[in-house]
Amino acid sequence: MTRFLQSAAAAAILLLGFAAPQTVVAETEQWVLVTGASTGIGRNLAETLADSGYHVYAGARSDEDLASLDAIDNITAVRLDVTKQDQVDAVVDLITERGTGLYGLVNNAGVGGGGKVLETPVAGQTFVYQVNVEGVYRTTKAFAPLVAEQNGRIVTTGSIAGTMSWAGGNAYSGSKHWIEAFTDALAAEMEPLGVHVSVVEPGNFQSHIRRSAVARAFAQVEAAGGEITEEMRQFQKGTVERELAYKEPDAVSEAFMHALFDDEPLRRYVVTPNEEEHVATIRTKLTELVQLNQWGRYSHSRDELVEMLDEILSGGTAETVE
């Protein structure tokens, strides 16, 4: 499992604004907002949607990324930092004024980082949650009413790290574990409004999330008056090389497309680049099941657990206790 380096403080403040708007389209055409569309999974999905004839509001923060996205047919780039409510509100206003509606929301913007509990400042943990948790909550709260108007879809980028964790991974894994709970609760809330909610949980695919975490950590060291050592630079080099060796996230975009447009979308999509990561994810979940069943007067036998599994596989659902 990839280990994310300790994150730095909040990103630099970006000026609010948008790339030049494109021509307003007919109301019958479907539009999807993808947050964090500048690189990695978000960029791959935005391009996949555009190539498939859908129209995309692609969220990014830097002028360079906005210009790059806006140059692609069927993509309208919007300045969107999910930690800034004024930028979120401005995108809501833009979509409303353009009259395109919003069929799909993809909560993709996220960061890696964190570190070991005894070694990491609270600010390092807080930053991860500001983006991965509060950012998802903020954008969903803002755009869900637009999606509900079209009985559309909301899909969030989780991670197999939402199931598995490791020493130093509590912040990132914790934020992705939150998305698991958020997805289930939101699905129950949105079902009466005709909106289906899913989570896509990728394994290790090519992105910028790891090298960005390293860059933030370097900036934190320099801001504190520290020096970037040769050992640290070699670590950064290895991080970049490792990320570039991963597969492109085409399979992840395929899962998003199914969640957004298939007549029978799933609640969860685990997408790994190899069987090893998939097996590790499922075994971790089964280990949790065994641990949950180890204590208490109501523990189940193996046969009873198998009976439950067979029932669920045949179309049953887990009971919810409120």
**Residues that are catalytic:** 172
The residue behind tokens 């934020």 is: 175
Q: Are the C-beta atoms of residues 104 and 156 closer than 8 Å to each other? A: no
Residues 6 or more apart whose CB falls under 8 angstroms from that of 318 comprise 312
Residues 6 or more apart whose CB falls under 8 angstroms from that of 153 comprise 103, 104, 105, 147, 195, 196, 197, 198, 259, 260, 261, 265
The residue behind tokens 């939402």 is: 162
Tell me how far apart the alpha carbons of residues 53 and 64 are, in angstroms, rounded to a whole number: 24
User: What are the structure tokens assigned to 67, written together?
Assistant: 């210009």
What are the phi and psi torsion angles at 268 (to 5°)?
-130, 140
User: Among candidates 62, 95, 90, which has minimal Cα distance to 76?
Assistant: 95
Cα→Cα distances 199→36, 108, 134, 225, 241, Å: 16, 10, 16, 41, 28
Which string of DSSP letters, residue by residue, matches 261-282?
H-SS--SEEEE-SSHHHHHHHH
Residues 6 or more apart whose CB falls under 8 angstroms from that of 29 comprise 55, 100
Alpha carbon 128 to chain centroid, angstroms? 12
Strand partners, 77: 58
Tell me how far apart the alpha carbons of residues 87 and 101 are, in angstroms, rounded to a whole number: 18
